[in-house]
Chains A and B, each alone.
Chain A
Amino acid sequence: MASRPVADDELLIERVFAAPPDLVFDMWADQKHFMAWIGPVGFHCTEASLDFQVGGAWGATIVSAQHGTSRMGGRYLEIEAGRKIVMSFRWLNGEPDPETVITLTFTPVDGGTLQSFHQTPFDNVPRRDSHINGWNEAFDREQAHAETQAQELAR
């Protein structure tokens, strides 16, 4: 659930976990914990290596019966114990995939920890850029246009 406006070209997922910040932080920092959850339902993590220090590399392999094997990895760019992790992320499946930067923060709140997950394909994105209002409006216009055309054709 996003709680602030965000451009459509970046991804923000905020979620409260019923656990203290240190433990939620460890979900990313501790190899055993990381392996236990990384990947959607139906996937399991077969291997992960986390050199959890700034500049250190990380990588993981997830497997699903339906979708086969996927490998991902990157580097840690910034670490504040228990509070913040900035890491690069890229799929390593043969097909070229843009490198993204993930910024995670962990904030104590009523009922547990607010994990803020932010991912962007831009390595030099200005944090908030008031210019863009996303392209969904353009898609809306395109759809409206297509529907008008379809109606006209149907006449």
Chain B
Amino acid sequence: MMLQLDPLSATFAALADPTRRAILARLSEGEATVGELAEPFDISLPAISRHLKVLQAAGLISQGREAQRRPCRLELRTLRAADDWMGRYRRFWQGAFDGMDQYLAEIQKEDRDGE
């Protein structure tokens, strides 16, 4: 069954696989053909193609139209959306932990004063 995912969930679902992340890491160095992408992996070409389909459906990569080579390339806009999303979490928690720091100081001071 295919679940209809929002774009960000689709991005992260596609990223939740070490082979697919390795493919993206390879593509961060530049375009590559399906054959070139398959090379470092001990899995079949059809299996690589399935991974590429998932990445393409999530908008993380695109494939060129040139009939012979059809190189794959990274779609940075999608990666950037994921990166921005993580960045918002980073700011949220760092702000919250500043508050935790202050609160811990306060309650421990109260404990000491109360003794």
B-contacting residues of A (Cβ < 8 Å)?
7-11, 13, 15, 17-19, 23-24, 27, 33, 36-41, 95-98, 100, 115, 117, 119, 121-126, 129, 131-133, 135-139, 141-142
A131-B21 contact in complex given A9-B86, A17-B104, C-beta closer than 8 Å: yes
Chain B nearest CB: distance from A86 CB in Å? Answer: 16
- How far is it, in angstroms, between the C-alpha of A46 and the C-alpha of B101 when the chains are bound? 20
Which of B9, B92, B108 has a CB less than 8 Å from the CB of A96?
Answer: B9
- How far is it, in angstroms, between the C-alpha of A15 and the C-alpha of B98 when the chains are bound? 10
Chain B nearest CB: distance from A1 CB in Å? Answer: 10
Taking a contact as CB atoms under 8 Å apart, the answer to whether B96 and A38 are in contact is yes
- How far is it, in angstroms, between the C-alpha of A126 and the C-alpha of B80 when the chains are bound? 22
Query: Within 8 Å CB of B32, what residues of A?
Result: none
Taking a contact as CB atoms under 8 Å apart, the answer to whether B8 and A131 are in contact is no
Query: Within 8 Å CB of B97, what residues of A?
Result: 13, 15, 37, 115, 117
A129-B96 contact in complex given A36-B103, A98-B8, C-beta closer than 8 Å: no
B1-16 toward A: CB 8 Å interface, digit per residue (1/0)? Answer: 0000110110010011
Q: Could you pull out 26 A-B pairs where Cβ atoms are within 8 angstroms?
A: A7-B21, A8-B83, A9-B15, A9-B82, A17-B100, A17-B101, A17-B104, A18-B101, A33-B107, A37-B96, A39-B96, A40-B95, A117-B93, A119-B89, A121-B15, A124-B16, A131-B22, A132-B18, A132-B22, A132-B25, A133-B25, A135-B74, A137-B28, A139-B76, A139-B80, A139-B83
Least CB separation from A119: chain B residue: B89
Taking a contact as CB atoms under 8 Å apart, the answer to whether B79 and A135 are in contact is yes
Query: Within 8 Å CB of B112, what residues of A?
Result: none
